[in-house]
Amino acid sequence: MRILIATHSIDRGGSARSLRILVRHLAARHELSVVSLLPPRPDRPMAEEYAALGVPVRLFEWGRLPISYKGVAVPEREQDARCEVMRPRIPEFRAWAGEADLLLFNGYPALSLAALAPDIPKVLIAGEVVEESSPRFDSVARFIRRHVTRAVAIGSREAELPERLGIPCRIIFNSAERTPRFLDFPPLAPVRFGYFGQLAASKGPMDLIRAAATVAPALRRAHAAVHICGGNAANPSPLQRRMQGTIDRNGLGDIIFLHDWTDNVEEAVRPVHCIVCPDPAGSPWGRDIIEAMSMGRPVIAAGTEEVFIRPGKTGWLVRPGDPAHLAATLSVLSRSGMELEKMGRNAFEFAREHFDPAKTLPELEAAILDEKQDSVPIHAPARERTATLVFSPPAHGSLRNPGGSHNRPARPRD
């Protein structure tokens, strides 16, 4: 089948990494091409990797769908302006779409292109939770209903909107990049926490720095450290400079370390005991969590829904946008290497059952093509409500009372 894939980016964020995994799988059996709203980053060789697979990548700088997502605001007027500039090139996109049997949208942002190719079936991979408070929500919802033939959602929250719009939708978890493989746990002390992902406000890295600063004395006593991977020392973003400034001004350079982006996630994770995903939107089921669990690492994630993260079993959940709660969790777990290893093994067993690409990718391909499979569809497991502690938090600054005593340390200076 000839499939044209429309995506916001081929090398930015978890959705781009998920797309790369899917493209590798589909390229062996289908004729693929990709259109991206953003140009490839020069420091990441993703376009070359796609070319080696025989998958051309074309740039079409059309505006994103004018709607915001949980944790990500989209500047609507800017998107409108981009569309106006690109209108003379609409025939070019229509020519690309005319060569395809199916148009696949990797997330909502690129779905804005759907109206330019009205006569081709369209499949949406719903990877975001749409903010229904967005000013244009009603008109965008009608647009989605009119243009999307069917959808595949990466989780139950993401499936809510397509299902409510009457769009046939299946829930299939994202796949790990490779077969889940337990990485031997490092020595149980000192504990190392790791953050892997874009240094973007929507991912919450500043919350992690504030949390670590709040309990810096406890982390130092435990000789624990926080390693944040995802920067670019040669050309730091404004947020990265702000993060480094906070570390320097508060004297945190002995416990918080900033590292550049890495494509070799496995080697970066190997010396780490626990992954931290402080996403202020509270979506504890993203790409970083999947990869961490697939390597046998527990996860501290912001959010309340026990889909992947079962508190005390595969990791811990903290309140979104609450550095104090995250700080208390870091403090307790910095002294709990043995418990982290137990949770890591539980996380790996969950990943082996739900994230194995040998199971998930054929199921995802069948859903995209609307084919029947002999295997049982991969849906979100029943949510197990449990809050059993496997270790005892301290009386002050505990997981259940993150505020602790009235002698809370001062907030770090940003």
State which H helix or E strand residue 103 sits in: strand 102-106
Tell me: the pLDDT tens digits for 20-43?
999 999 999 999 999 999 999 887
Residues 368-400, buried b or exposed e (16+ Cβ, 10 A)? bbeeeeeeeebebeeeeeeeeeeeebeeebbbe
pLDDT-derived band at 299 (thresholds 50, 70, 90) equals: very high
Position 146 scores a pLDDT of: 96
Query: Residue 267 and residue 289: Cα distance in Å, rounded?
Result: 16
Secondary structure class of 125 (helix, strand, coil): strand
Edge to edge, the sheet with strand 256-260 lists: 256-260, 225-231, 192-196, 274-277, 299-302, 315-318
Phi, psi of 6 (to 5 degrees): -105, 130
Tell me: the pLDDT tens digits for 212-227?
999 999 999 999 999 9
Helix axis angle for 205-214 and 238-249, nearest 10°, is 0
237: amino acid identity, one letter: S
The stretch 368-390 carries a mean pLDDT of 48
Mean of pLDDT over the chain: 88
What structural domains and CATH numbers belong to the chain?
A: 2-171 (3.40.50.2000), 192-351 (3.40.50.2000)
Q: CA 93: distance to chain centroid?
A: 29
Asked if omega into 45 is within 30° of 0 (cis), the reply is: no
Position 237 scores a pLDDT of: 93
Residue 399 has pLDDT above 60, yes or no: no
Secondary structure class of 54 (helix, strand, coil): coil
